[in-house]
Structure 1
Amino acid sequence: MFFAYRGYPVIVFAPIFTLLAVILSGLALLPSYTETFMTNAANYVKSFFPIFLLGAIFGKVMEMSGAAASIAQSIVKALGSRRAILAVVLACAILTYGGVSLFVVAFAVYPFAAAIFREANIPKRLIPGTIALGAFTFTMDALPGSPQIQNIIPTNYFGTDAYAAPVLGTIGGIMVFAGGMLWLERRRKQAEAAGEGYGEGHINEPEINREEKYPNIWISLLPLALVLVFNYLLSRGVWTVTEWYDPELLKKNFNIANVKTVASSWALIIALTVGILTALLINLKQVQTKLAAGLTAAAMGALLAIFNTASEVGFGNVVKTLPGFKMIQGWILGASEHPLVSEALAVNVLAGITGSASGGMSIALEVMGKQYLQIAQAAGISPELLHRIASMASGGMDTLPHNGAVITLLAITGLTHRQSYKDIFAITVVKTLTVFILAFAISIF
């Protein structure tokens, strides 16, 4: 946690501290690194790299074509300065739910958020919390069908799909949205009563070219809609990929015992590809001039993201072999007799430690996913509920100060932790409480 917070690369320091843990436990050093750490890291890359890569390319193409900016600008204009906070939250939510990466959303929405907050005289320090609510919470992992990686990872462990537990996810999403909006509006009213406005002397103030023409809003929304539609049709609809190949062929030639564990990834790979091609056609002339540089940037970003997370997964798999982990695992599993509550606790704790939603959840499910599934099945609990609680919990305490998305968001807006982290943390608390409320409610009934 200390080195991650100081900005040191996880790719380098995860294996270093893995080996330190192995040495302190008196186990075999090199086999732990090459056979446990690297094997599990490589398996993670094999499973999820296509999603990371295609997701990054889709977000970049939406940015280069001007489609992302068109959506943000149209929503902000439609709702106006009187509903500035709601406008920014909805702009982020639509882009995130459509499959655009969180970082691209922050870059695309910030210029319009700054303009409308300045017009409404709302403190700039509230912008990071507002973007966090729209991009980092309910559309990332709560609403069914979200193509974000946090909603896809559990499918590999529970044999579910992106639409798992739709009612629970929708209820949770509404609770997070409502709670977050109440907090942000309360903070806005407090600032207004104190006579605090947008403020002066800010850095990274964006300049919007009023004459720049963006693609039509409905055309810009088309790639997002196609990603969602194709993802549904290929997951649960008439074209479901689970029926494309003979189960015996998959088992014999590809060692796929249960096609459901890979079907969601297959569906999303095709859906994102359709989205990318559509986004390219929106403004092909403009995209062509910067396509090579854009694809390079997207690929580098995807590589960094996947290898950061894979290193954390490798770290977790080595740690679970150490003698001391049995005690920690016993404490987590014994914290509640109900698997959903225990799972929510494990994912939240590990997401907080790693500062990564996908990393924390991946470690928790790699280490204890099979046990949770066995306990849930014995208790008659649907794997879909395990999926939704794990996914939502990953977006809870992950946004501690050392989280990469938080640091990037503050850098984009030109603000500091001291100025804006209080609101980000409040949104984090709202999300975390919502997950535990839902888990406890299910455990009671």
Structure 2
Amino acid sequence: MIIEVLAIVFALGLLMFFAYRGYPVIVFAPIFTLLAVVISGNALMPSYTETYMTNAANYVKNFFPIFLLGAIFGKVMEMNGAAASIAQSIVRALGSKRAILSVILACAVLTYGGVSLFVVAFAVYPFAVAIFREANVPKRLIPGTIALGAFTFTMDALPGTPQIQNIIPTSYFGTDAYAAPVVGIAGSLMVFFGGLWWLERRRRQAEAAGEGYGTDHKNEPELLTNQTYPSLWISVLPLLLVLVFNYLLSRGFLDVTTWYNAELLKSFNIASVKTVASSWALIIALCIGIVSALCINIRQVQSKLAAGLTAAAMGSLLAIFNTASEVGFGNVVKTLPGFKLIQNWIMGLSSQPLISEAVSVNILAGVTGSASGGLSIALEVMGKTYMAAAQAAGISPELLHRIASMASGGMDTLPHNGAVITLLAITGLTHRQSYKDIFAVTVLKTLTVLILAVIFSFI
């Protein structure tokens, strides 16, 4: 049995190592999956075609529309200048004395409005450079600041956020994007103020040491003083429409769960509309957001729409297939003999399902370097177990949703995380220069989730 456990650990380790080294997960996830299968003595080809590929395909079927529409929405908001307008307006309003806070808020508004994390990093970076330079704050603090605003509380904690990490749990727990709002808001405040305190502390330390913005930096953007953007109020309209319609379609008078009767849904193999309602709501809301965003600076967008849509589609394909590959990996792993021991160990860490769930999602998100990948694997493998344990303990499925979603955004930002690597590339900085602050935000998020899991397990 030890060999079977080592087979899984070895395969996970190889997947993590190759992802860190920049090799494509799409290629190497099935290779390491089948390596674990061979070592464990299971059937090779059925494990690949009937387990790995079937579950990867199901993930694509369930979530590709959200990946695609989210990428298109973010790209259009970038092309029409609305994302830059929002960032610029917030930075100017708060001024250089609040450089760190203004960048955090600019990222938070865009992310919560449905713009993808990568687009947010590209859109906010030029303004972050301008205000950090003006305030003489070290450039090395920019990645940690953007990470706090875009990769943490607005990604998976605030109720209603349209990011994929908040949508994935709805398929497993029958919840919606607004699950456990009190827990989500409490966690968001803890992460926001804790992260702001850390970054301001780091700024004061640099100031006391006489360190300024610095010189000879890479990837310095051009000054944006002469560039014009849409007005703030027009720019935020698509974001507001996504949020408003997502709510109305989830919990308001347009609730999609009332659109079709149960008999009709059964003919489409939908046993419960709750498992698909959140996806339906977000798909429609993003479509409305895209149409409204296309109406802003339509002439400017029209000239580069074809190239922009192609880039968005390609980006969404890479993202969904990377995550689907990890989901396929997780589903094969759960069929292997050694997995039962690993599952018992994780479940044995705590008899409380919320605590156990927070730990398992965090571990898998860290190993895979992906919040959505780790979350999907954990819920595919142990979602039903957590649901049963929570029902036995009288714990709401909404709490399971929120803790799982928030836990995915904890240790996922280890050095091999794709978003971290991309963020550092955008800013022209290295892990050595800036990762300490990204890691601090990561640790803060992880501790916040564990604290909330403990509190709500015993009240």
Normalising by the residue count of structure 1, what TM-score does the alignment of the two structures yield? Answer: 0.99
1:321 aligns with 2:335: yes
Alpha-carbon distance in structure 2 between the residues aligned to 1:345 and 1:72: 35
1:407 equivalent among 412, 421, 425: 421
Cα drift, residue 102 of structure 1:
0.2
2:255 equivalent among 219, 223, 240: 240
Residue 389 of structure 1: aligned partner: 403
Residue 259 of structure 1: aligned partner: 273
Could you say what secondary structure the match of 2:295 adopts? helix
Residue 214 of structure 1: aligned partner: 229
1:165 aligns with 2:159: no
Letter in 2 for 1:7: G
1:4 equivalent among 10, 16, 19: 19
Alpha-carbon distance in structure 2 between the residues aligned to 1:442 and 1:148: 24
Residue 90 of structure 2: aligned partner: 75
What percentage of residue pairs aligned between the two structures are identical?
Answer: 82
Residue 297 of structure 1: aligned partner: 311
1:361 aligns with 2:410: no
Cα drift, residue 234 of structure 1:
0.1
Where does structure 1 lack aligned partners over 5 or more consecutive residues? none
Letter in 2 for 1:65: N
Superimposed CA distance per residue, residues 245-282 of structure 1 (whole angstroms, 9 cap, x where no aligned partner): 0111101x101000000000000000000000000001
Superimposed CA distance per residue, residues 15-46 of structure 1 (whole angstroms, 9 cap, x where no aligned partner): 00001000100111000000000000000000
Cα drift, residue 161 of structure 1:
0.2
1:196 aligns with 2:176: no
1:337 equivalent among 335, 344, 351: 351
1:218-233 pair list within 5 angstroms: 218-233=233-248
Residue 37 of structure 1: aligned partner: 52
Residue 10 of structure 2: aligned partner: none
Letter in 2 for 1:338: Q
Where does structure 2 lack aligned partners over 5 or more consecutive residues? 1-15
Cα drift, residue 208 of structure 1:
2.6
1:352 aligns with 2:366: yes
Cα drift, residue 212 of structure 1:
1.3
Superimposed CA distance per residue, residues 208-254 of structure 1 (whole angstroms, 9 cap, x where no aligned partner): 33221100000000000000000000000000000000111101x10
Residue 322 of structure 2: aligned partner: 308
Runs ≥4 residues deviating over 6 A: none
1:269 equivalent among 280, 283, 286: 283
Q: What is the Cα-based RMSD across aligned positions, in Å?
A: 0.4
Cα drift, residue 444 of structure 1:
2.0
Superimposed CA distance per residue, residues 151-173 of structure 1 (whole angstroms, 9 cap, x where no aligned partner): 00000000000000000000000
Superimposed CA distance per residue, residues 332-376 of structure 1 (whole angstroms, 9 cap, x where no aligned partner): 111100000000001000000000000000000000000100110
Could you say what secondary structure the match of 1:295 adopts? helix
Normalising by the residue count of structure 2, what TM-score does the alignment of the two structures yield? Answer: 0.96
1:24 aligns with 2:39: yes
Could you say what secondary structure the match of 2:118 adopts? helix
Alpha-carbon distance in structure 2 between the residues aligned to 1:209 and 1:117: 14
Could you say what secondary structure the match of 2:439 adopts? helix
